[in-house]
Amino acid sequence: MIPMPAWTTRRARALALGLALAAVPAPSVAHACAPAPPLDQEVIIRGEEAVIVWDVKAGREHFIRRADFETEAQGPADGSR
């Protein structure tokens, strides 16, 4: 076997890495779940837990979140709107 020059090996590795990265699918759209108070109000997240489950058959991710908020803001969370 004839040894390859070091630059050829590096080039081959770089090409292989580039091809592998090109095969990675683009990320899908994800909608944020975060507090959105009025501009003059503040929302503090005191605690948060999340469970993420992947449904292989449906190709779907289930995201279950429980959070504790502290705020003086009035809005959908307290039923005022």
Q: Could you report the per-residue pLDDT of 32-47, keeping only the tens digit for each?
A: 567 778 888 888 888 8
Closest CA to 80 of 37, 47, 31, 33: 37
The predicted model scores a pTM of 0.40
In the predicted model, what is the mean pLDDT of residues 64-76?
82
Residues 6+ apart with CB under 8 A from 80: 74
Q: Is 15 left (phi over 0), alpha (psi -120 to 50) or beta?
A: alpha
Separation between Cα atoms, residue 27 and residue 31, nearest integer Å: 12
The CA distance from 32 to 17, in Å, is 32
